[in-house]
Structure 1
Amino acid sequence: MKIWITIMATVASVVSPMTAHIYFPALDAIAEELNVTISLINLTLTSYMIFQGISPTIFGDFGDMAGRRPAFIVAFVIYLFANIGLAVQRDYAALLVLRCLQSAGSSGTLALSYAVVADITPTAERGKYMGFVSVGINIGPAIGPVIGGLLTQYLGWPSIFWFCAIFVAVWLIPWVATIPEMCRNVVGNGTIPPQSWNITLVEFLKRRKSGEKPEPGPKRKMRIPNPLGTLLITFDKQMSQILLIAAIIYCNFILVAATLSTLFTEIYNYNELEVGLCFLPYGLGCCLTVVLQGYVVDWNYRRIAKKLGVDPSHGRRNEIGDFPIESARIQPIYPSLLAGAAAVIGYGWALQAETSVAVPLVLIFAIGMLVPSTFSILNTLIVDLYPGSPATAAAANNLVRCLFGAGATAVVDYMIDAMGRGWCFTFLALLMVACLPWLRFIEKRGPRWRAEKLQRKNSTDSEREAESGAAETQ
């Protein structure tokens, strides 16, 4: 069941990045049919990225409160109907509004996918499972343009939205039928029954056939999802620094993808389908490394545990305690980050020299192998630090990196024009290199920050208990 849930979460994580990139080859066709300028169509890209950052802050809190099953279902039902609307509409205003709804539905599931893995895996084994979910997130930008190019060229642009609708409908059926609730705030370690309406279709039919009555669980208060919890996490001393570093690394990843289409068309005169195929080495590199990196992260966890004389099963109950989790997660980043920065620099200068297309294709394969794995590991650390609300923590990460990504994609064309291709990507790579001493600082100070935070929490809890006792005495 753990493997099956991970597969479903991985497939779900494909949806948002695939939806963002499958749209690219259709931009000219949509602008022509709706009789609007490309600048107006580009606004639908900006609005998509804005909601891509905001939506997880709502669905993350909803998932931590009500459960993963209902959060996924609500998000993807919104996405399903938005895609149907996009396929049949022929008006720019409808396109803009429905793209926002499409983004809101699909993007909310990014934080939920990481949270699902945090629910079903102990800290000591989490790296490899996070790696599988990262495959889905990283393969989306690779396959999206290829699928979009093929569908737009042979079936017309509305077919890309029908494809997205069918894709998510096929996913929803086994999710509703077979995936049990796994949110620890709802079912604990699996021994607490979920709400009567939050059971699988298979379980419902089994109970109905046998006449078995559902075991009553504890009553749970439902409330309106609060995105402020996500904002509080972004201002935490330790988390804010991790989120900024993850955003800088993510900007390198997204800017290579965002400029690939324009630069390859400009240099090599490729059409939409040919450019879409050039994304495949990028996606292949992403998929290969994030899985392997997960095993490396788990190995490093066990290595440090052995060095400290801690039982390797430490963390099976998702309790970090005073274990140096920062070192366990950050140490594997250093070599990947350095090599990834070198690949980004080489890629920029290969485009500057307009070499054979084989050179940048090999380098984007290397970038895909090295850069995404680094912020994938940071994603694991982020949910490690917030075991009680992993979806909210993942949403905070998504919010910061999407806002940084939106700003970076808005200015990257101006940077390339002003600095040239080579120096632009060199500058971006050097920003990543500058994160190395910053990561080392977090690795050293992180355990102390966590201890201080825990001490403050315990002190606050003691004060509340004392006040409550005094009130009862009176």
Structure 2
Amino acid sequence: MSVNAVASTRGAGESPARDGELGEGHTAADGVPLPRFAPPQPPVVSEVPDTAPGASEAPKALEAPDTPDSASKSPASPGATAAVPFTIFDKPQKALIVFLVSTAATFSGFASNIYFPALPTVARDFNVSPELINLTVTSYLIFQGLAPSLWGPVSDVKGRRVAYLCTFTVFTAACIGLALSKNYATLLVLRCLQSTGSASTIAIGAGVIGDITTREERGGVMGIFQAGLLAPVALGPVIGGALTGSLGWRSVFWFITIYSGVFLCFLVALLPETLRSIVANGSRTPGSPVLRYPLVVYQRLTKVRQPAQEGCSPPPDRKKKVDVTGPIRILVSRGAPPMILFMAVHYAVWQMGITAMSTLFEDRYGLGETQIGLTFIANGAGSIIGTFLTGRFLDMDYRRFKARHEAQRQLARAGGPAETTTTSTSGEATASKNTVQGGDDDDDDDSFPIKRARLRLAPVFSVLQCLFVILFGWAIQYHAKISIAVPIICTFVMGWTAISTQSTVMTYLVDIFPDRSAAASASLNLARCLFAAGGTSVVMPLVNGIGVGWTFTICAGVQFLVLMGLLVIN
């Protein structure tokens, strides 16, 4: 079928094309091929002889592929413009980028979890109470929530590499100061500075993943990213306990200093700039040397086939100003607050449990630093295993849900008198916005229920976490009758369910805010860390006042109430 037939069909009442549906044969009046990311508009075409008279619908050759890989493989007919891939990075390059940002995210967890086994020792060294030393955890969590609200928007405007370089410089300097600290006040202040540098790696990494992945693959990639984020939950306390028991608690911060310095060298050498407002799909080369390298090497080595015609690469997204209020506005935007509150409460309860573990296991079971560190392995293993399995299952469930949705739409079209397509002004604006701002290459129509597709499993994780939080508290309450293995096993399930919930909600936020993915992650981080800061500051006073069992029963009750509220709202 000719391009003329497609134009006439569109002119007969169909809605403007969705992202990528302009296809390979459309050209502007001056003959320059329209890029795939151009806003939908009526095509003006030159005369092309019909090859299939009487055809009434667009052939598959004119449909854009759903994924970057298929985009690179679609054959181009003579005189046609090849489809522009969502990203130029091929699978090995994506794997390297995901590995780098996942490793970068480990620093937030290491700085937090490696410190837990040392809490009783640091309290004795500075001659302060456990409640005061727990404030160094609380202050860390507060700045862990606040810092990404600055660095996330910076990375969304100035570039991912710039944000990474700044945050790692701050983090390394703070670690050196902590290793040399002489009093409690210095320790408290430098923990805040350390958190400012490390916490933002989560928001920036989520932004990078949003830059290079489509919706259909994002759940699995986000699961890998969460696993990198949570590896320190398993390894950090073990390393921290061993270092504290053999070399003293200051060796913990010297270890992190060396780790961050070495990794920063790899980050500078291997991580390309991915921000779509600067490099589009990776095919545009920025002028700044900091952003240009090593992107130019990736461009030369990529195996993704790109259009050879000049002007076929997509334009970069519209540049924005740094907006530090962006995460706050996402917190109060339509649809996001219930999910963020749900995630924040579950994360806070989880953090309350693992923060209290060090003191409770020392007091109730008489464990030393190294032994306490070993008890954290179950929590970390549950987090890592859960995030891998959940990420893969999220992708499978999303594809299954999408296929069912598409089948229902096709059935409705076939059964109706005519094809019905959303043509409202608001609907077209949404699709156009996602396209121009580097959104996904699928599911841009308003009819796709993205919330239901992403969040169907969240209630299951919530109920499981509630049950094991209660069991964790009462097992420690009756420690003389119940083996220590029971609360340790509980931490495995608590870690798995808490991180599965976090991965689900974070993937959903990146989906609905594709042009502000780092800011969306920062908003989630802000809420969960502030809630966790409040929880960790009151957990020991509650335990001392009403007991371990009732403390965590109340926590589970709050989780259940939030879940019920979410189900009612949705």
Q: Is contact 2:344-2:532 (8 Å) kept?
A: yes
Q: 1:89 to 1:70 in 2, by over 3 A?
A: same
Aligned match of 1:454: none
CA distance in 2, matches of 1:98, 1:318: 45
Alignment partners' CA distance in 1, 2:497 and 2:569:
21
Matched residue, 2:454: 329
Question: Which residue does 1:394 correspond to in 2?
Answer: 521
Q: Distance in 2 between matches of 1:184 and 1:218?
A: 6
Rounded Cα–Cα distance in structure 1 between residues aligned with 2:484 and 2:298: 58
Q: Which amino acid in 2 is paired with 1:388?
A: D
- Once residues 127 and 64 of structure 1 are traced to their aligned partners in structure 2, the CA distance between those partners, rounded to angstroms, is 21
Question: Hey, what does 2:404 align to over in structure 1?
Answer: 307
1:256 counterpart (335, 353, 371):
353
CA distance in 2, matches of 1:129, 1:165: 28
The residue number in structure 2 matching 1:77 is 169
1:342 to 457, 467, 488: 467
Tell me the residue number matched to 1:378. 505
Give 1:201 shift: 4.8
Q: Where do residues 153-232 of structure 1 align in structure 2 (5 Å cutoff)?
A: 153-199=245-291, 201-202=293-294, 225-232=322-329
Aligned partner of 1:317 in structure 2 is: 441
Amino acid at match of 2:560: V
Q: Contact (CA 8 Å) 2:272, 2:298: kept in 1 or not?
A: no
Is the 1:253–1:372 Cα contact (8 Å) retained in structure 2? no
Structure 2: which amino acid aligns with 1:227? V
**Aligned partner of 1:88: which letter?**
L
Which TM-score applies when normalising by structure 2? 0.70
Distance 2:210 2:295 in 1: 24
For 1:271-310, list aligned pairs within 5 A.
Answer: 271-309=368-406
TM-aligned CA deviation for residue 36 of structure 1: 6.0
Change (3 A) 1:29 1:248: closer
Q: Does 1:431 align with 2:558?
A: yes
Q: CA–CA distance in 2 between the matches of 1:41 and 1:336?
A: 32
SS of match in other structure, 1:190: coil
Structure 1 unpaired stretches of 5+: 208-216, 444-474
Distance 1:59 1:141 in 2: 23
1:273-313 per-residue CA deviation (whole Å, 9 max, x = no partner) reads 111110001110111111111111111211221111169xx
CA offset digits 1:394-419 (Å, max 9, x no partner): 10111111111111111122322343
Cα shift at 1:195: 3.5
Structure 1 range deviating more: 184-193 or 103-112: 184-193
Q: Which amino acid aligns with 1:241?
A: P
Contact (CA 8 Å) 2:219, 2:392: kept in 1 or not? yes
Structure 1 residue 108 corresponds to structure 2 residue 232: no
Q: Work out the CA distance in 2 between the residues paired with 1:283 and 1:219.
A: 38
Helix, strand or coil: the match of 2:547?
helix
Structure 2 vs 1, CA of residues 261 and 124 (structure 1 numbering), >3 Å: closer, same or farther?
same
Equivalence for 1:421: 548
| Residue in structure 2 matching 1:136, options 228, 231, 234 | 228
Structure 2: runs of 5+ lacking an equivalent: 1-92, 300-314, 410-434
**Contact 1:238/1:442 (CA < 8 Å) preserved in 2?**
no
User: Would you say 1:68 and 2:186 are equivalent positions?
Assistant: no
Residues 143-197 of structure 1: CA deviation (Å, up to 9, x unaligned): 2222112112222222211111111122212211121111122212222222422
Highest Rg: 1 or 2?
Answer: 2
Structure with more of its chain in helix, by fraction:
1
Cα deviation digits, residues 20-72 of structure 1 (max 9, x gap): 12223334544555566666544433322221111000000000001111111
Partner of 2:113: 21
From the superposition, tell whether residues 194 and 303 of structure 1 become closer, same or farther in structure 2 (CA, over 3 Å).
Answer: same
Provide, for residues 6-31 of structure 1, a one-character-per-residue CA deviation record: whole Å limited to 9, x for no partner: 11111111111210122233345445
SS at match of 1:308: helix
- Tell me the secondary structure at the aligned position of residue 403 of structure 1: helix
Which residue type is aligned with residue 109 of structure 1? T
Q: For residues 305 and 335 of structure 1, do their structure 2 counterparts lie closer, same or farther at Cα, with a shift above 3 Å needed?
A: same
CA 1:318–1:227 in 2, change beyond 3 Å: closer, same or farther?
farther
Equivalent AA in structure 2 for residue 128 of structure 1:
G
**Separation in 2, partners of 1:423, 1:273:** 29
What residue is the counterpart of 2:534 in the other structure?
Answer: 407
- CA 1:249–1:324 in structure 2 vs 1: closer, same or farther (change >3 Å)? same
Q: Deviations over 1:255-278 (max 9, x none)?
A: 111111122122211111111110
Number of aligned residue pairs? 433
Match of 1:363 among 490, 494, 500: 490
How high is the sequence identity, in percent, across the aligned residues? Answer: 39
User: Is the 1:288–1:369 Cα contact (8 Å) retained in structure 2?
Assistant: yes
Tell me if the contact between 2:280 and 2:317 (Cα under 8 Å) persists in the aligned partners: no
Cα distance, 1:220 vs structure 2 = 9.2
Q: Indicate if the aligned counterparts of 1:297 and 1:329 stay in contact, CA closer than 8 A.
A: yes
Given that residues 285 and 296 in structure 2 are in contact (C-alpha distance below 8 angstroms), is that contact kept between their aligned partners in structure 1?
A: no
Q: Distance in 2 between matches of 1:430 and 1:81?
A: 41
Aligned to 1:463: none
Query: What's the CA shift string for 1:210-233, capped at 9, x where partnerless?
Result: xxxxxxx9899786x432111111
Residue 321 of structure 1 aligns to a residue whose secondary structure is: coil
Match of 2:212 among 120, 137, 150: 120
Does the 8 Å CA contact 1:68/1:182 hold for their aligned counterparts? yes
Q: Pick from 322, 327, 332: which aligns with 1:235?
A: 332
Inter-partner Cα distance in structure 2 for 1:399 and 1:420? 30
* Corresponding position of 2:98: 6
Contact 2:326 2:519 in 1 (8 A): yes
Q: TM-score normalized by structure 1?
A: 0.84
Distance 1:61 1:278, change over 3 A: same
| Structure 1 residues 218 and 189: alpha-carbon distance in aligned structure 2, compared to 1, 3 A threshold | closer
Q: Per the alignment, in what secondary structure is the counterpart of residue 441 of structure 2? A: coil
Q: 1:339: how far off?
A: 2.1
Q: Is the 8 A contact 2:244 2:252 kept in 1?
A: yes
CA 1:248–1:191 in 2, change beyond 3 Å: closer, same or farther? same
1:266 aligns with 2:391: no
Give, in whole Å, the separation in 2 of the partners of 1:60 and 1:436: 28
Determine if contact 2:175/2:253 at 8 Å carries over to the other structure.
yes
User: C-alpha offsets along residues 201-258 of structure 1, whole Å, 9 cap, x if unaligned?
Assistant: 5567999xxxxxxxxx9899786x4321111111113111111111111112111111
8 Å CA contact 2:102–2:226 kept in 1: the answer is yes
Q: Which moved more, 1:434-443 or 1:80-89?
A: 434-443
1:245 aligns to what? Answer: 342
TM-superposed deviation, 1:325? 0.9
